Structures are given as C-alpha cells and as structure tokens.
Copies of this chain bind each other. A is one copy, B any other.
Amino acid sequence: MFARVALIGLGLIGSSLAHAIKRRNLAETIAGTDASEAVRERAAELELAAIHPDAAAAAKDADLVILCAPVGSYRQIAAAIAPHLKPGAILSDVGSVKGAVMRDVAPLVPKSVHFLPAHPIAGTEQSGPDAGFASLFDHRWCIITPPPGADAAAVAKLKAFWEACGSQVEVMEAGHHDLVLAMTSHVPHLIAYNIVGTAHDLEKVAETEVIKFSAGGFRDFTRIAASDPTMWRDVFLNNREAVLEVLGRFNEDLSQLQRAVRDGNGQALFDLFTRTRAIRRSIVDIGQDSAAPNFGRDQSSDQSKNSQ
C-alpha cells in the first residue's frame, strides 16, 4: 500500500501500528523513531521498525508519516521534519485532540504534503513499545478530520490504510471530534483520575481498605486512571474548552443527583438508573464492548496469570 511508512513515536499506539502494518504487509519499509533512547533501543530489539535517531531521518522519503507521540510535542516534531517531507506524502497522527493539532501543525506543513489528522479510538492502560499488539485497532473506529479543501484521493488512501489496520473509519470536522471525545473519553478519564485521587487522600479510609474492597466498583476506574500521564496531561492542555463544557454539564447533573440522594428522592434515582442501562446494551450490541459479565475479566485473569 505504501513504499515507506514512518512512525514518529513507538509507544502503545506506534508499536501497535507497526504490528498491524506487518500483519497485512501494508508497507515495504517501516521507519521508526522515538524521543526516548531507551524506547528506540527496545523497539530495535523487538524489530518493530528500522529505527532512526531522530524524526527528520525517519520521515525522510516516507509516503506516509504518522505522529504517534504526545500531542504537546507535535509542534517541535513538525518543525523538525517539515524540510524533509517528500512532496505528495501524507502527514497524519493518532492524537486524541484534533483542533489543537490543526492549529499547531498545519502552518508548518509544506503545501506539497497532505496533512490529514486522525485519531484511532483504541488503546489500553499500558504504555511503551512492549505494550503494542496487531489487533488493537480491530473493530474500533478511527476518525479522520481533514482540513477544508483536503485532497479527496489522499483522504481515501488514509481511510484504506486504517481499514487495512482493522478499523472502521469516520470523517468528521475537528471541532466536533474534540467535543465528542471530551464526552466519550477525556472527561471519563478526568473523572476516573479524580476519584482515584480522592480515594488516595481520604484520611478516614485506609489505602489498604480501598485496594482490598475495590471489586465493589472502584477497580473499574483505576484501569483508565493508570493510563500514560504525559499523553493525558497533553490532552487536557489541548482540549480545554470542550473538556470544561462537558465537565460543566457533568457537574450540573451531579448536583441534581446529590440533591436526590440528600432528599431521599428514590424515584429520581430509580429513573436515572433505568435510563443508563439502555446505553450499555447498545454499546454491547454494536460490538464496542464484551457482553460477558465484568468485561469477562474473571475468565481472562486466569489466562493472563498462566501466560506470565
């Protein structure tokens, strides 16, 4: 599909892309690099890609360059690679925010290069070049947010690439992407980080008790609160408005719910708890989550113990 794909950043997403590209033979050469020397060395050991010492060297002559680093580093990377990008190449990324990426990167991209931001809605709570696996993107959505006037053939080519990586693709305006993701990803992460922090700081309950009795619900939140701190810091620094808008709504709703608890308003509680069930059902029905109770974790935990 491409002669040469360059992956700038080889953490969870970059390394998963390397595996997914190899699985279907989507590139003759995969060039890779990472800002961390330790990651570059580990990626070389894992034979994820032909490893280069810096982004400019990796991006040189590539037909498709994908930024797989925290979005806070994009401006610097874009400045470094811009002079080396091949005319006609596609420059894309995997960042969780798209408006800020457009703002930071677009002015640095040569006119001869197709800049097409993208975001695969896939991941795990693990990080680093060892965390990647080829099936990460299977049955997950990838959103492409082409700037106005983007080349239709280039968009089609990027779409075909993500489909070959296992994804379904949706095209969307960057601002709308940022609002949708604030709701489906960013605020949920913020809430999860927050409640784990509250549990950590609550003096009247010992941390050992929080950990022992976490199966009552709390443990679910700790998974996404174990996600990569640098990546998530950059998400909140770069999607401030949409996050604050959704968080404002969350807070209004929570005030109402708090009032219902305080007033002993059982009907209001029951009505909300009934409405929310339907959304779960829809998510399971379209295959975006496991139908097995407890995410199937009880079956799989034995497997994972055996495999370690």
Q: Which residue of B lies closest to A273 (CB)?
A: B229
Question: What residue of chain B has the Cβ atom nearest to residue A196's Cβ?
Answer: B276
Please give the distance in Å from A128's CB to the nearest CB on chain B.
12
CB–CB B280/A223 < 8 A: yes
Give complex CA distance A234, B293 in Å. 22
The residues in A between 204 and 253 inclusive whose CB is less than 8 angstroms from any CB of B are 204-205, 207, 209-227, 229-230, 232-234, 236-237, 240, 243-244, 246-247, 249-251, 253
A224 — which chain B residues lie within 8 A by C-beta? 217, 220
Can you name 26 A-B residue pairings with CB atoms under 8 Å? A170-B212, A179-B205, A180-B205, A184-B199, A184-B209, A184-B213, A188-B220, A190-B261, A194-B272, A196-B279, A200-B276, A211-B286, A211-B288, A214-B283, A214-B289, A223-B280, A225-B276, A229-B270, A237-B264, A247-B254, A289-B301, A290-B300, A291-B301, A291-B304, A295-B296, A295-B300
| Given A199-B184, A253-B198, A244:B266 Cβ within 8 A | no
| CB 8 Å contact bits of A109-146 with B (1 = contact, 0 = none) | 00000000000011111100001000100001101000
**B190 and A277 within 8 A (CB):** no
Query: What is the size, in residues, of chain A's interface with B at 8 Å between Cβ atoms?
Result: 116
CA distance A204 to B248 in the complex (A): 14
A72-B253 Cα distance, complex, nearest whole Å: 25
Assess the A250–B290 pair: CB atoms within 8 A.
Answer: no
User: Within A256-282, which residues are at the interface with B (CB < 8 Å)?
Assistant: 257-258, 260-262, 264, 266, 269-270, 272-277, 279-282
Write the residues of chain A forming the contact surface with B, with a CB cutoff of 8 angstroms.
72, 96, 121-126, 131, 135, 140-141, 143, 170, 179-181, 183-202, 204-205, 207, 209-227, 229-230, 232-234, 236-237, 240, 243-244, 246-247, 249-251, 253-254, 257-258, 260-262, 264, 266, 269-270, 272-277, 279-283, 286-301, 303-305, 308
Q: Which residues from B are CB-within-8-Å of A300?
A: 290, 292, 295-297, 299-300
Q: Given A240-B262, A261-B243, A291-B304 in contact, is the A197-B269 Cβ separation under 8 Å?
A: no
